[in-house]
Structure formats: C-alpha cells, structure tokens
Structure 1
Amino acid sequence: MTKTPTVREHQLSILSAEQVSQEWARVASGNSQVSSMRSALLDRLGVRSDADLPEPQFFGTSGTFHLDGPVPVPQEVASPPAQEVLSIQSSLIVQSRTVGDQQVAECVATTQGTPAGLSQDRVFLLTTTNDHFLTGVEEHVTGSGGQLVTVDGWWDALTSCLTSSDCGDQCVSAALTCPPATWAVYLACLAGRCGLCVVKCAACATCDCTWWCRVAAGCCNN
C-alpha cells in the first residue's frame, strides 16, 4: 500500500507590511491577472488611474510544509508531474484600500508543490462596505470580458475553515469581534488573535482539495 505522507516540519509566518509591499510589486509586474483585476477595479470604482486611489495597506501570510515522503499520484491524474512533491509552499498577499464607504482588498493566493513545479494560483477581489463589513462580503474575479464577476470560493472556504472545530472557539470569537476598520486591519487582528490557524486556513482555501497539496493544507473544497 502506498504511504500517504505527513508534515514532518513547517514554518508559518505573518509577513510585515514592507515584505508584502515588495512581494506585491514583484508579483504585479509579472502576472497579467493582477493588472486585469486592477483595470476592472478602476472601472468599478469609477476612477481613471491608480493615482486616483488612496494609498494601500498591506497584509500577508506564508507557509512552508515539509513532508516525510513524496505525495503519491492518484491513478486518475492524466499527466503526472515529472518530479515528486516533497514540500508545499503557500502564500497570501493582500492590498487593502478604503474608497468612500467601500472596503476593497486585492488578493493573490498561491500554493506550490516542489520540486514538481505544480501550482494553484488565485487572483481575486474582496469587497464590502463599512456598514456591513462581515455580512456584505463579495468575492470577484476578472471575467473573459474584463469585467468583475462575482463568485463563491476562497473567502467562503477560509471562513468555514476558521470557524471549524480544528481552529477552536478563539478563531470564532476573533472572526466576529475583530474591528472591521479595513481589510488589512481586520485580517491582521484575526491573525494576531487566531494564531497561525489563519496561515493554515489560507493555504487550505487556496489548495481547494487538490491532490498534491491537501496532504499538508487540508481539504477546503471551494
């Protein structure tokens, strides 16, 4: 019987605002989805350029999970990778802004399986309002026509994970009581009070139960 590996070591961290700012600049320069989302966001907000937006706040997490063996490839995988997955790396970077009564978070979430070179990448937008910060959250991606399309996915998976029994009552309390000032403030409070469960749940939401990363990130089926 093929052995399912377990996590033998992990490093989980909350990134500084400076680290996220630098990483955002790097990712935005080479990812067309980020620029497409920004263009769609400008249209949604009714402004002409980035110069018309307020300065952003930043939030980010990172996690590396080292396994005690390779991830077995399921028989149903049509094109297995040439190399094995021995570790999983996950990151979330968020650029947060307040625009009028709207709270907007541009997000890039990535999970990678190394050295196989497998990747799950998600570029999405979280929007809400000051008056309905938690109850009015919408998640958007950029559609084929360049317009924002509302979806159910990453945010729902994250919040479901955070309020599960695995994360405990502390995360439930934090999710409900952290100050909804901005996305960056809210997420930083959540990470500070809920501990590294935020990092793990972000990885879980990004993995979306994919075969090669769920052994480390868990299964949050979006």
Structure 2
Amino acid sequence: MDFYQRDAESKATFREKYHFSKDDKIIISAGHYIERKGIEDFAELAARMPEYQFVWFGYTNLNLVPDKIRGIVETKLPNLHFPGYISSEELREAYSGSDLFLFLTHEETEGIVLLEALAMKIPLLIRDIPIYRSWLMDRKQVYKGNELPEFESLIRQIVQGQALSLAEEGYTVAKERSISNVGNVLLDIYIKLLHADNPGYEGMVNRIKPARIARQ
C-alpha cells in the first residue's frame, strides 16, 4: 500500500509529460483494447465532453482487435489519448495527476487497477456490474452508473467538485484487499488445516507467525 501515494511532484510529472496544464480536467482508464473493458463508451464520453481530457492506458496489438476497436484507438479526437503501455511507476503518476478513474468494464474478476485507484484515493466511477455489488457500494466507496447520460452527468459532478468525496471509504476497501491482508487470511486457513490434520502443528505455527508479524 505504501507504493500508492498521491503527491504533488508525481502530479506535475504526469501533466508535464503528456502536455496537460494544471487546469485541465483529466479522466483516465486502463486496460486492453477490447470491447469488454468499455473502451467504446470511454471514447463516446470523450466525444460528448470535449472540455475534458480522456486518457486510456494499456495496449493490444491493433492487428488482433476488431476494426471498430482499431478505429477508436486511431481516432483523431483532440481530447482522447492512447499512450499505450506504461510502467507501474508511470501509472502511479497518472493516478496522482488525474481527476477521475473511469472504469467502464462490462465484466471483471476483480480489477487490479480499480484497487490501485482506490489505494491512491482518486475518485472512481464504475459500471454497476454484479461483481462489485457485494463489496463496493454506490456513493459510499465509489460512484456507479449504467448508461452514457448517467456517466456523463456523474463525470461532470465529480471533476467539478460537486460530488461528495469517497476517498477515505474507498481506501479502506483497498487496504482490506491488500496482499498482506489477504496473505494473513490465507495463513489463518492453513493454520486451521494444520491443526486439524497434525497434532504437532504448534511448532510449525510458531515458525510461520514471525514472518507474518515482520511483514505487517
């Protein structure tokens, strides 16, 4: 979690690299160039809101995607950008320098970039799909929408500061799902299994627990 911290230097680095001004409102997303990720709606929203900058990070060989997706990536909209693949450090700078993370995926297992954005305390607007309904609440940790007009309205509210900040609640969710916390949950399961199957498990547990404490 320490890696994902917003700071003014990273914000300035990101905006300078992509030639954005300090006053630009920037909406970012990340993923492969595939329909399932919501790239079509992302591009349509850019067309509807030329006053904002839309940046999609990620890359897929254009020879492997349908013509309609290739057409989106090659579009000449001045406010729609496809920089391609970037490193984790560069993505952290992008989180720091943007005003909203827009995650329009139609189907997902969890979404690592979503958790990263939550950890960075950046505002999130996501599509309301079943995978998120049990652990991400609308207007509590994130904002959710379904249709383009709804996304457009929420984007304007969020980037203009008219929507309630959900940063701290979202960060709590990311922290709960951090690698260290998930690892500790798994460790507890293993300990219970050892207890059930091995009467001499105490010695094994005593060797494992210090490693957990050291990582916390």
**TM-score interval for Structure 1 and Structure 2 normalised by the shorter chain:** under 0.3
**Structure 2 length as normaliser, TM-score?**
0.27
Q: Which structure features the higher share of strand residues?
A: 1
Higher radius of gyration, 1 or 2: 2
